[in-house]
Amino acid sequence: MVDQILCALPLGREQLLTPIFGYANRGVPGIEIIGLGQQGRSLKEKMIYLNKLNGWDIPLRKYLLCLESEEWELVKKGDRRNIELPLWLLYLKLAGKIKMRTMKDVIAAGKISSRGEIECINFHPAARAEWSLQELIPIVGQLEQGQRSILLDELLLPLRQEAEPKLRLIENCLNG
């Protein structure tokens, strides 16, 4: 199984859209995160911990997640944790916990605490910025490929046909 997701990272006054791709296969079971250095190791351990904390039965497979960005070093260290949510969503998708055909048109950004609380970048002041994993997974699962919807303030809203699929922004729901 293969898929990808986009991460919106703050870079000055702009957003850096960084692709993250990944796959799951029957190799040696485990999670490997490439492109984050030491931060990838701690995030991997957090993912394993959250699986155990929530009692999720994740299939024993090799999960490889890879950040593809030359600008990663330009992102401030405090903002780098915002890669956690898109990596986590992609991992859950590859593990079969999020029922979507693909996440290639999804843009996400946010941090995940060791208690499973999600804190997102606020792009819109009226939107909800904090979620739990239990709340988020069923909502994300509603976004099917071709559905052309945007998730905003806990509502799944249809988009006009001419709107780009990339407007299905999880970050707009989570972050603003």
Q: Residue 52 carries which side chain, given as an amino acid letter? A: K
Number of domains in the chain: 1
Tokens of 165: 């699929």
Is 29 or 101 the better-scoring residue by pLDDT? 29
pLDDT digits (tens, 9 = 90+) for 82-126: 888 889 889 999 998 887 888 887 878 888 888 877 776 654 444
Residue ranges making up the domain that contains 147: 2-174
Nearest to 123 by CA among 77, 73, 76, 169: 169
**Adjacent-strand bridge partners of 107:** 6, 169
Q: Give the model's pLDDT for residue 115.
A: 81
User: What CATH number is associated with residue 133?
Assistant: 3.30.230
The DSSP annotation for 33-47 comes to EESSTHHHHHHHHHH
pLDDT digits (tens, 9 = 90+) for 118-168: 776 654 444 444 445 555 554 444 444 444 444 444 444 444 443 333 344
Q: Across all residues in the chain, what is the average pLDDT? A: 71
Least confident range from 2-6, 71-75, 109-113: namely: 71-75
Q: Give the model's pLDDT for residue 76.
A: 66
Average of pLDDT values for 50-58?
87
Q: Give the model's pLDDT for residue 121.
A: 61
Task: Tokens 């910025």: give the residue.
Answer: 129
Least confident range from 18-22, 36-40, 61-65, 123-127: namely: 123-127
Burial class from Cβ neighbours inside 10 Å (0-12, 13-18, 19+) for residue 32 reads: middle
Confidence of residue 24 (pLDDT cuts 50, 70, 90): very high
Cα 84 to Cα 47: distance, rounded to the nearest angstrom: 9
Flag whether the pTM goes above 0.75.
no
Is 33 or 6 the better-scoring residue by pLDDT? 33
Q: Do residues 153 and 173 touch, judged by C-beta distance below 8 A? A: yes
